[in-house]
Chain A
Amino acid sequence: MLTYTLRRLLLAIPTLLLISLVIFLLVDFAPGSPMSEIPLTVPPEVRQKMIEAMGADQPVFIRYLLWLRQFFWVEPAGLIDGWFGTSLAEGQQRIISWQTRSPVFVTIGQRIPQTLTVIGSAYAIGVLIALPIGIYSAYRQYSWFDQLGTFVAMVGYSVPTFFTGVLLIVIFSVNLGWFPSIYDTTLKVVDWDSFIKQVMQMALPVTVLALFNAAEISRYTRASFLDNLSQDYVRTARAKGMSEKTVVLKHVLRNSMIPVVTVIALGIPSIFAGAIITEQVFKVNGIGAALIGAIHANDLPMVQTLTFIFAVLIVLFNLIADILYGVLDPRIRYD
C-alpha cells in the first residue's frame, strides 16, 4: 500500500508538469492583453513600460520556467519562512497578479476561507444527508419514502444551481425577507449574534449546493446499496442469524460504500472549482469569484495558478480515492 502510494505520488510529478505546461500555453494563447482594463487615456509608452515591469513581454517559455520556479520553490519556501521564521525565500520574486500587483497567493489566502465555509459545508451537509437517504431508499425500495427521494433527487440534480439559487432568493429574501440574498464577506464571527448572522447568510447558498450534491450522492448510494442487497453474501449473513442492523449496516454498507467513497472523494476538488456559479449568484467572494475576476482582467498568472491548483487537487483526490478504494476493498489492495 505504501509502495503503491509512493509510486503514484512519483507518477503524479510528470503528470502535473505536463498539465501545468498545457494550462500555461492554453491560457497564454488566449487573446487579450493585461492592459485591457487600464483606462484608454494611459499613453502607449506608459502601457509598454507597465507590461515590461510585469515581465509580460518576455517569451512564453521564460515566463513558464519562471512560474514553475516560483510555484514550486519560492512559494513553498515563503510558506516555510512564515512557519519557522527562516528566510529561504527572502528577496525572491513571488507569483504576482497582473491585476492587483500583489502576490497571487495572498489573494488566494483571502478567498479560500469563504469558499471553504460556504461550499465546503454545503458539500459536507450534502454527503451527510445523502448517505442515510440513499441507504433507506434502497432498503425500502419503491416505498413512498423511496419515491419521494427519487423525485426530489431528480429535481435537485436536473435543475441548475443558478436557477434554484435565484428561486430561493426570490422566495426567501425578496418575498419573505427571512435570509439575506448577498453574502457579506466582511462579517466576522465574534459572538452569538454575529454567528447567527453568519448562519443566516450561509443558509441559502448552502441549501442550493447541498441539495445538488445530496441529489447526486444519494442516487449513487441507493444504486450501490441495491446492487449489494441482493447479493448472496447478504443471504449468508441472514442465514448466520445476524440481526437486520448488522446485515445492513455492516455487511451491505461496507460493500456499497466502495463506489460511493470514490464519487465523494472525486467531488471534493469541485468544492474549490465547481461552485463558481453559486458564488456569483450569492456574491460569495470566494475562489471561484476570484477566478472569474482574473479571467475578465486577463490576469494570466492568477488564472494559471488557480487552474493549476485545481488540477493538483483533482490529481490528489484521484489518488486518495484509489487508496480508499484499496482500504475498503481487500480484493484490490495494491501490493
Chain B
Amino acid sequence: MADLAAPVLDVRGLKTVFQTRGGEVHAVNSVSFHLERGELLGVVGESGSGKSVTMMSLIGLLPSPPADVRAGSVMLGDRDLLKISAAELQAVRGAKVGFVFQDPMTSLNPVFTVGMQIMEPLRRHMGLSKAQAETRAVELLELVGISDARKRLKAYPHQFSGGMRQRVMIAIALACDPDVLIADEPTTALDVTIQAQILELVKELRRKLGMAIIWITHDLGVIAGIADRVMVMYGGQVVEQAPVKELFGNPQHPYTRALLKTIPSLTGERADRLQVIEGQPPIMTAAPTACPFRDRCAQAFDRCARENPLRRAIDGREVGRGHDVACHWTPEVAHA
C-alpha cells in the first residue's frame, strides 16, 4: 500500500553537467525538491537558471552526450528514475509523467495528424486498440476544450492556431492519466488572451483530474495565480522555496526580491522606473564554491565569495517543507 502522505515525486541532490568544448558546464547543482499529490509547484528563474534542464534531467530527456546526470535520486513512487533502464524510463515517460513544452508551433510533428499524435502514447502505454484509442482521443480533445473533436482528429497541426496546438499538447501529456505533469513555460509563446485561457484550462483540469503539476515559468504573475508552492532557481540551484503567499509576502533571497520588483504594477502611482536586475546569470564552469548570485547582489559580503550558501529553513520547519532560502545574509550580518 503506497503511503498517501508520501510525495509523488521526490528529487534529492540532482546534479547535471554538460560536456562542452570549453569544458564542463554545471547546469544543475544539488537540486532537491518534492511534489505532493495534486500540488502545483511553480519553478521560477530567468533564462539559463537551470529550470528546464532540471526537469528534463528527471526523465532522461536530455541528449547524452553532452548531458550527464551525475548524482542524485529521483523517486517517482517507489522507483528511482535515475537507476532504471532506458526501456523502463520510456515506459514512464508519457505514461506516469506528461510533458508540455514551450512552443506549440514546433512541438507537434507537422506531417502527422493530431489524432495520430494523441493516439500514439495511448496505444503504446495503455495497449489500447485503434478504435479504443480513437474514442479516448476524442474524449481528451473535448477535455481540453476543442470542439468538434472527432473531425479534428484528422486535422494536421498547421490547421490549428497556437492556443489550440497547446491544448493538443496538453491532451497528449494527459493522455495516459499521468501522476505528474511537467509544463515547461507552456504559455510563454502564446499571446496574452490565449495565455489566460490556457491557465484557466490547466486550473480546471487540475480540479477534475487531480494530477500534480510542475509549472516552469519566468513570469511571476502567472505563478501567483495558480501555484501552491514556489521554487526560485538561480545558477542551477534552488535559492528559495516557499508556499506561494509566503514567497510573495515575505521574500527572503535578494534574487527573489529583485524578481518581484521587475513585475509592473497595474495599481497605484507609477513613481519609479521598473526595476531591472543588472548583468547576466553566470555560466557555471565548475561546481559552485561561492554564491552564484554574489556578483549581482547588493547585499553580498565576504562570506558570499567563500562558500556557497546551503538552503536553511527560516520558519523552523524542515527544509523543503516550509520556507527556506539559500543565502548567508541575515539581519544580524547587517548589524555586525
Interface residues of A (CB under 8 A from B): 231-233, 235-243, 246, 251, 254-255, 258, 328-331
Contact = CB atoms under 8 A, between A and B. Distances in A.
Interface in B212-256: none
A331 B172 contact: no
A129 to B, nearest CB: 25
Contacts of A328: 111
Given A238-B61, A239-B99, A232 B107 contact: yes
B110 interface: yes
A240 B106 contact: no
A241 B61 contact: no
Interface stretch (B28-36, B86-94, B132-140, B271-279): B86-94
Contact of B61 (A235, A254, A331): A235
Contacts of B160: none
Contacts of A331: 110, 156, 158
B142 interface: no
The 3 closest A-B pairs by CB, nearest first: A241-B94, A241-B93, A239-B99
Interface string B89-127: 011111100110101001111111100000011001100
A99 to B, nearest CB: 51
A237 B121 CA distance: 9
5 contacts: A233-B109, A239-B101, A241-B121, A242-B94, A331-B110
Contacts of A237: 109, 120
B190 interface: no
Given A235-B101, A242-B124, A331-B156, A254 B93 contact: no
A236 B111 contact: no
B211 interface: no
Interface string B158-169: 100000000001
Nearest to B86: A244
A233 B172 CA distance: 12
Contact of B110 (A240, A241, A255): A255
B109 A255 contact: yes
A238 B90 CA distance: 8
A236 B91 contact: no
Interface string B24-49: 00000000000000000000000000
B111 A232 contact: no
B128 interface: no
Contacts of A251: 109, 112
Contacts of B110: 233, 255, 329-331
A243 B92 CA distance: 12
B111 A255 contact: yes
B313 interface: no
B59 interface: yes
Nearest to A233: B109
B93 A240 contact: yes
Contacts of B108: 233, 236
Report which residue of A255, A329, A330 has the largest number of chain B beta carbons within 10 angstroms of its beta carbon: A330
A208 B206 CA distance: 63
A228 to B, nearest CB: 10
Nearest to A254: B111
Nearest to A230: B63
A246 B125 CA distance: 14
Nearest to A228: B109
Contact of B106 (A231, A246, A254, A258): A231
Contact of B103 (A232, A241, A242, A254): A232
A240 B156 contact: no
Nearest to A330: B156
B120 A242 contact: yes
B61 A239 contact: yes
A284 B113 CA distance: 48
Contacts of B111: 254-255, 258, 328-330
Contacts of B91: 241
Contacts of B173: 239
Contacts of A254: 109, 111-112
B326 to A, nearest CB: 30
Report which residue of A236, A254, A258 has the largest number of chain B beta carbons within 10 angstroms of its beta carbon: A236
Contacts of B107: 232-233, 235-236
Interface string B289-300: 000000000000
A254 B108 CA distance: 13
B161 to A, nearest CB: 15
Contacts of B156: 330-331
A236 B120 contact: no
A235 B108 CA distance: 10
B101 A236 contact: yes
Contact of A240 (B103, B113, B120, B158): B120
A236 B99 contact: yes
Nearest to A234: B109
Contacts of A258: 111
A241 B95 contact: yes
B228 to A, nearest CB: 24
Nearest to A229: B63
Given A235-B107, A241-B94, A242-B120, 6 more contacts: A236-B101, A236-B109, A239-B99, A241-B91, A241-B124, A254-B112
B67 to A, nearest CB: 13
